[in-house]
Chain A
């Protein structure tokens, strides 16, 4: 993924160029949706919120100034929308059925173990305190630096580091039977 052209794309989007904004949408759609899914635990809600995030981003892209990068700004919009959604009646996070249902075909043991580990990991993530979960997913899945995580969570870099650290501690503890085997 080439991020070097991002400032240019943002400037063009600010000037009203929808093609540039479309590139940004393509670049971030899945990332925002994945993070929102991890945060809310609800795939449909994550889809709706992803769409809403980009609608808001398009409407407000002119208010984005050089001080904040596009990526943390976009994730912040997504986060605020998710917070609002969780306050509403559909806010209760409910984990849905697993995406891949077990088939009848025999699977190798390693695949079964991996599937089980992923299921346990998802459950363990759901048990994390909300802010620790948000920080951890931004760090581990999205590969964001602590400075950006801090900007997204309205927090300090030190606090972001602490949250990721606590989340990893808790997850390792929860998944001890599945980790360190390889």
Chain B
């Protein structure tokens, strides 16, 4: 087992999880990983000890007062119940209660008056007063638009540091597209399904399949095995769904299942030649986002990666403006966060790497161009903010605030000393010892 795999295991498991034999063996030999483990143990211990300011007891007492006032649907508990102390209510509470009853009476009176003025229509008289139900619904979060979910994956791709992580991102991207296509197949609009099927094929072949050859030999067999299972289960899911759909709609989804099955069977048979994927000539944000993600994953040159990320940032800025104009604040906020991550990991970190590789300073001009591109994306947001109506302006303002660290990082990128890979590179390495 190599350091990367051990690090990943340590990062995702709790300290009390028993160490697998492979991890234990590695830790016995690798001081750097042992130190990492110790650091993570300390972090977990410290987090549990983070102080919490004391809370005044009357806060909880107020909760019971509020519940006393506001739960006509629920039958009162026995007098012995804890916290339910029957006591004379304070004067102001009584006044509030009287005022509430008065308001209700006035409201009922007004309603009766209005009803009596209506033209006589045969209406069944209610047999009893309507039951007052004070159930406060939990706000139900709508499913985020696909473009927001793909932007999230794109920003994670920019932060991914190895082939395994990149493969995971493309797997999630394919699943997001698949879920969206199935939702559209069930409740429309169905005319978008073909485009989603095409994008899915692109992600599966050019994103997932292309990454399999980059996997480290040590973990390859396990990861490919998981991938095959996941692809087969995706295909089965689509096929199962197809049995409930109209035949014409099911036909549209069939290539999606076929793509999953083809790659799964190629992986089982150890086939490495990828089928040719027809390029998508589609300028819609969704297609652009997928294409940029593939470019980002295929590009080895950090400066080119920064350039692709800057291009995606411009695309996200445009998309944010569209969402803010339509009043979708949740998507605006989500995209703002993804934009910030993209700026930090996709632009800033890559510019740093490019600068540290550029001994001669030949590529300084290219780096400036990337920064200009980033600046342009910000200007687009600022310009629209200046002219936006108040309801859109709030969202755009928030995006600019949320993404500020990202912009700052992107502008600083490549101007100082290169940072190198995002974590653990030198900080925990004992001198004179190599990372495995």
Q: Which residues of A contact B (CB under 8 A)?
A: 15-19, 22-23, 25, 29-30, 33-34, 37-38, 43, 47, 50-51, 54-56, 58-60, 62-63, 76-77, 80, 84, 87, 96, 98-100, 114, 117-118, 121-122, 125, 129-131, 136-137, 140-141, 143, 154, 156, 158-159, 161-162, 164-166, 168-173, 175-176, 178-182
Tell yes or no: B432 within 8 A of A by CB: no
B139 contacts which chain A residues (CB < 8 A)? 80, 84
B141 contacts which chain A residues (CB < 8 A)? 80, 154
Cα of A144 to Cα of B339 in the assembled complex, Å = 29
Cα of A175 to Cα of B45 in the assembled complex, Å = 13
Tell yes or no: B81 within 8 A of A by CB: yes
Tell yes or no: B84 within 8 A of A by CB: yes
A137 to chain B minimum Cβ distance, whole angstroms, is: 8
A147 to chain B minimum Cβ distance, whole angstroms, is: 14
A63 contacts which chain B residues (CB < 8 A)? 135, 137-138
Question: In the bound complex, do residue B52 and residue A33 qualify as a contact, i.e. CB atoms below 8 Å apart?
Answer: yes
Question: Quick one: given A63-B138, A172-B423, are A18 and B40 in contact (CB under 8 Å)?
Answer: no
Question: In the bound complex, do residue A182 and residue B38 qualify as a contact, i.e. CB atoms below 8 Å apart?
Answer: yes
Question: In the bound complex, do residue B67 and residue A18 qualify as a contact, i.e. CB atoms below 8 Å apart?
Answer: yes
Tell yes or no: B331 within 8 A of A by CB: no
Question: In the bound complex, do residue B341 and residue A58 qualify as a contact, i.e. CB atoms below 8 Å apart?
Answer: no
Some 25 contacts from A to B, beta carbons below 8 A apart, are: A16-B76, A16-B77, A18-B83, A19-B80, A22-B81, A33-B52, A37-B52, A58-B71, A59-B71, A59-B135, A62-B135, A63-B137, A80-B139, A84-B139, A117-B46, A118-B50, A121-B43, A121-B47, A129-B337, A129-B340, A141-B48, A172-B423, A173-B427, A179-B42, A180-B35
Q: Which of B40, B84, B135 contacts A60 (CB 8 A)?
A: B135
Cα of A130 to Cα of B67 in the assembled complex, Å = 31
B272 to chain A minimum Cβ distance, whole angstroms, is: 26
Q: Which of B14, B76, B172, B422 contacts A156 (CB 8 A)?
A: B172
Question: In the bound complex, do residue B83 and residue A162 qualify as a contact, i.e. CB atoms below 8 Å apart?
Answer: no
Q: Which of A55, A76, A99, A165 contacts B51 (CB 8 A)?
A: A99
Question: Quick one: given A16-B77, A181-B42, are A58 and B427 in contact (CB under 8 Å)?
Answer: no
Cα of A125 to Cα of B80 in the assembled complex, Å = 43
Tell yes or no: B117 within 8 A of A by CB: no
Question: In the bound complex, do residue A77 and residue B48 qualify as a contact, i.e. CB atoms below 8 Å apart?
Answer: no
Q: Which of B47, B71, B159 contacts A140 (CB 8 A)?
A: B47
The majority secondary structure among interface residues of chain B is: loop
The count of chain B contact residues (Cβ–Cβ below 8 Å) is 62
A62 contacts which chain B residues (CB < 8 A)? 73, 135
Q: Which of B12, B43, B59 contacts A51 (CB 8 A)?
A: B59
Question: In the bound complex, do residue B74 and residue A176 qualify as a contact, i.e. CB atoms below 8 Å apart?
Answer: no
Question: In the bound complex, do residue B60 and residue A29 qualify as a contact, i.e. CB atoms below 8 Å apart?
Answer: yes
B330 to chain A minimum Cβ distance, whole angstroms, is: 9
